Amino acid sequence: MNMFAKQISSSDLNQIKAALPAKIMNGRLSELLERIPYISESVKSVKYLEGEHATLIDIDTQDLAERDKINVDLDELIDALLVSKISAQKKLKVHARPNGQSQATYPDNSAAYYDGNDVRLMEAIDRLLLEVAVRHGAHVRDYASIYTADIMERNGYHKNFPQNVYGVTQIPHNYTLIKEIRESQSSTIPANLFQNHGAFLQPCVCYHCYAEIQETVQSEIMFTLKGRCFRHEIQWRLNTFRRNEFTMREIVFMGSQAYVESKRLGIMDEIWDLFCSLGLYGQVVTARDPFFHYDDMKTKGAVQLMADAKYELEFISANGNASSIASFNNCQDTLCEKFEVTNDEKSFLHSGCVAFGIDRWRAALYEQYGPDNRNWPEKLKNA
């Protein structure tokens, strides 16, 4: 257990305040603040107190055992971060917002539903992204929203990001059971009557493409697809940029190492030009995904490799918040190995994908131009 992160006693039972070791700074500090909400569902907010170099956590439980458990897990998280190496974030491209504007021109208050203007805005931006994909020779696909157990076992997403997934369950087709549920006085179905076959609501869309050509021999191939994605986010962090359910377009490419990297960077340059030509402000940076295995963060080489494997296009809103609206990923040969996609010399293909959060592009464009399409940039209007 960590000897530095001694809890500072807080008279308020609904708060935990912990002094942080001096080495928890910069990248480690932002990782810590990002991860604390996943310690327990009782965590309701996390603050960093700069003057005291401490973290203040609001919890909504009076249960002392639960409180102790949060303290223990917090210590373990800090210990893991202390031995981790987190590379400094690199900026690859920057389009800075001119000074002066500090508020969104069109505040976005709609969270419960999208209206006709929102839908048109999302269709227009998706059309522009689809054009990029098709120009690069992508095959267009539309798949189901559920990943089967087989697809999940191969890609391993649920093991790497268990905090994100939604499982799919169903009632068995069994006459006795169905009759029992229908005739029961209860207004709900007991959870234990559902069966689970290992399927998940898709947290991203690209694995379908690998499944389509699994165990085949290929040279190079590209797909584009769009789908509804589902992620179990921290409830109190939900907003227009962070949703439980959102639409993602991806461009997926498989081939030689050189083909994959040139497609990733080529498409990234085109998307950057599109982003700037739409009058949006932001940057392309190396990514840091939370919840890679702690062991992976211990060697500098692995960290650098991981950072360069994923670039993110961040929209920076008028109030200064950065949100990733696209990512450009090089998966090396890991996914083709899992889905057994090989070339004719029997080596696994390399692969990569470019993923766009359509809802986030909408939120970015809405903030800038609002709902009335007469104010939209020409490119969007024409799309």
* Residues found near Zn ion in the complex (CB under 5 A): 206, 250, 353
Query: Alpha helices of the chain — where are they, by DSSP H?
Result: 26-35, 64-82, 116-135, 149-155, 157-160, 175-183, 207-212, 257-277, 300-309, 334-338, 358-369, 378-382
The distance of closest approach from Cβ of residue 29 to Zn ion in the complex, given in angstroms and rounded to an integer, is 29
The distance of closest approach from Cβ of residue 206 to Zn ion in the complex, given in angstroms and rounded to an integer, is 3
The distance of closest approach from Cβ of residue 130 to Zn ion in the complex, given in angstroms and rounded to an integer, is 16
Gap between the Cα atoms of 225 and 140, Å rounded: 6
Which residue do the tokens 């690859």 mark?
Answer: 92
The distance of closest approach from Cβ of residue 252 to Zn ion in the complex, given in angstroms and rounded to an integer, is 6
The distance of closest approach from Cβ of residue 264 to Zn ion in the complex, given in angstroms and rounded to an integer, is 11
Q: Work out whether strand 310-316 and strand 322-330 pair parallel, antiparallel, or are unpaired.
A: antiparallel
Gap between the Cα atoms of 367 and 348, Å rounded: 43
Locate 215 and state its tokens. Answer: 């165990």
Report the residue number whose CB is nearest to Zn ion.
Answer: 206
Rounded CA Rg of the chain: 23
Cβ-based neighbour number of residue 233 at 10 Å: 17
Judged by beta carbon, residue 172 or residue 290, the one nearer Zn ion is: 290
Give me the phi and psi of 288, to 5 degrees please: -130, 105
Judged by beta carbon, residue 74 or residue 206, the one nearer Zn ion is: 206
Sheet holding 282-286, edge to edge: 91-95, 282-286, 310-316, 322-330, 350-357, 245-255, 221-230, 139-141
The distance of closest approach from Cβ of residue 133 to Zn ion in the complex, given in angstroms and rounded to an integer, is 13
What's the 3-state SS for 275-333? HHHCCCCEEEEECCCCCCCHHHHCCHHHHHHHHHHEEEEEEECCCCCEEEEEEEEECCC
Judged by beta carbon, residue 84 or residue 224, the one nearer Zn ion is: 224
Helices first, then strands: H and E counts in the chain: 12, 15
Judged by beta carbon, residue 71 or residue 327, the one nearer Zn ion is: 327
Gap between the Cα atoms of 57 and 188, Å rounded: 35
Judged by beta carbon, residue 2 or residue 247, the one nearer Zn ion is: 247
Judged by beta carbon, residue 129 or residue 206, the one nearer Zn ion is: 206
The distance of closest approach from Cβ of residue 275 to Zn ion in the complex, given in angstroms and rounded to an integer, is 19
Judged by beta carbon, residue 250 or residue 314, the one nearer Zn ion is: 250
355 within 8 A of 250, measured Cβ to Cβ: yes
Judged by beta carbon, residue 72 or residue 144, the one nearer Zn ion is: 144
Gap between the Cα atoms of 272 and 283, Å rounded: 9
The distance of closest approach from Cβ of residue 309 to Zn ion in the complex, given in angstroms and rounded to an integer, is 12
The distance of closest approach from Cβ of residue 354 to Zn ion in the complex, given in angstroms and rounded to an integer, is 8
Cβ-based neighbour number of residue 375 at 10 Å: 13
Of all helices (H) and strands (E), which one includes residue 198? Answer: strand 195-201
Judged by beta carbon, residue 157 or residue 369, the one nearer Zn ion is: 157
Judged by beta carbon, residue 46 or residue 206, the one nearer Zn ion is: 206
Sheet holding 167-170, edge to edge: 146-147, 195-201, 167-170
The distance of closest approach from Cβ of residue 17 to Zn ion in the complex, given in angstroms and rounded to an integer, is 39
